[in-house]
């Protein structure tokens, strides 16, 4: 017999309904738009170009992809005239999209075999919509994981309402419906996965749990290298076990396993950077773009700027930070880590 509480079943059903509503909204708003009109921006083609290069060209040169996506080459030439094939996008978004893109390709190949005149070039509208669907799935799964994580400490009602507020009153819904071919939905999924594994395995984490946590952090790093802050979670667990002198040896072995699994998952990104930026000749350097300046944090601007400041534009997130004060009484260690 199932042990899932009725309230949890209803919450999961509500998340499924939200997912279906967003799919319908996306399809409705993009009906009639010219091919790739929804992604003919500066960033989206960079994320998507990896898929076609890997699967169809078997390389990491993006000139042909950017020229075939309407509007992309013009934007890239204007922004980077010295190097229009410029691509600083990390590879995690493309990796998370890949199952959906390959599924679309299989369906299109089948339709072509049945006599339908459909393109199977890896870059037509069908492939783009498959990736957009993948982003929607990422948001849905991320919400389920956040809901499950919150229930570790809070009631079903509070966990559900907090998750819904996070979806409706943060940037997530924008990247769910209007801009699903940006990296934000896959990034949200990866970060939610890290937190879900960390909380789910916190009381008795096996070596397999440590490996899973490290792999999830590696995936999050592939989506956004600035997710390196998530490495603080296993570091904190190691320090805590050392201070309390509980399962120190097992925790140390698990921490090493976690670091190794994170590194293994992240290695493909390092290989791409090595090839694209010729580290063998030019030395190790970060890709051009807008790297995080950790030594010069602009905390007030990030939180309160009228130009997309986190709290200024999404005050519900400020309520979440204030809620940490109440959370401190329930779980001090988790609050400190968060």
pLDDT values of the chain reduced to their tens digit, one per residue, 338 residues: 458 889 999 999 999 999 999 888 888 776 655 555 455 577 888 899 999 999 999 988 888 888 888 778 888 888 778 777 878 889 999 999 999 999 999 999 999 999 999 889 888 888 988 999 999 999 999 999 999 999 999 999 999 999 999 999 998 998 888 888 899 999 999 999 999 999 999 988 999 999 999 999 999 999 998 899 999 999 999 999 998 888 888 899 999 999 999 999 999 999 988 887 777 777 777 666 656 677 888 889 989 999 989 999 999 999 988 989 989 988 999 999 98
Angstrom distance (rounded) from CA 216 to CA 197: 8
Question: Between 44-52 and 125-150, two packed helices, what is the crossing angle to 10 degrees?
Answer: 110
Place of tokens 């059903």: 13
24 vs 27, 189, 198, 282, CA distance in Å? 5, 21, 33, 48
Q: Is 76 left (phi over 0), alpha (psi -120 to 50) or beta?
A: alpha
Angle at 220 between CA 173 and CA 270, to 5 degrees: 135
Q: How far apart are CA 256 and CA 210, in angstroms?
A: 9
The pTM score is: 0.92
| Residue 19 CA: distances (Å) to CA of 7, 25, 43, 98, 176 | 18, 10, 24, 20, 9
- The DSSP secondary-structure symbol of 230 reads G
């Amino acid at each position: 017999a199932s042990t899932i509480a009725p309230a949890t079943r209803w919450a999961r059903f509500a998340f499924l309904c939200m997912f279906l509503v967003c799919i319908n909204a996306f399809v409705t708003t993009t009906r009639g738009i010219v091919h790739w009109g929804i992604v003919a921006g500066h960033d989206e083609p960079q994320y998507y170009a990896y898929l076609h290069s890997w699967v169809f060209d078997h390389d990491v040169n993006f000139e042909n992809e950017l020229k075939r996506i309407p509007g992309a080459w013009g934007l890239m030439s204007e922004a980077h005239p010295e190097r229009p094939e410029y691509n600083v996008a990390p590879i995690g978004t493309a990796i998370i999209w890949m199952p959906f893109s390959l599924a679309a390709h299989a369906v299109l190949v089948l339709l072509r075999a049945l006599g339908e005149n459909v393109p199977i070039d890896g870059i037509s509208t069908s492939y783009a919509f498959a990736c957009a669907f993948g982003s929607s799935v990422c948001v849905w799964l991320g919400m389920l994981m956040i809901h499950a994580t919150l229930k570790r400490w809070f009631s079903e009602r509070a966990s559900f309402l907090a998750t819904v507020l996070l979806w409706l009153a943060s940037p997530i819904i924008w990247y769910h419906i209007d801009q699903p071919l940006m990296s934000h939905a896959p990034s949200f999924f990866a970060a939610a996965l890290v937190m879900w594994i960390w909380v789910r395995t916190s009381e008795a984490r096996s070596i397999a749990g440590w490996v899973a946590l490290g792999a999830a952090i590696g995936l999050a790093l592939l989506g956004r290298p600035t997710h390196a802050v998530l490495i603080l979670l296993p570091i904190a667990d190691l320090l805590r076990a050392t201070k309390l002198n509980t399962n120190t040896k097992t925790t140390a072995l698990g921490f090493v396993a976690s670091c190794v699994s994170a590194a293994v998952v992240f290695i493909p990104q390092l290989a791409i950077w090595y090839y694209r930026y010729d580290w063998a000749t030019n030395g190790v350097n970060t890709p051009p773009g807008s790297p995080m300046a950790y030594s010069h944090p602009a905390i007030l601007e990030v939180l309160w700027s009228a130009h997309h400041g986190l709290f200024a534009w999404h005050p519900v997130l400020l309520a979440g930070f204030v809620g940490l004060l109440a959370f401190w009484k329930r779980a001090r260690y988790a609050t400190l880590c968060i």
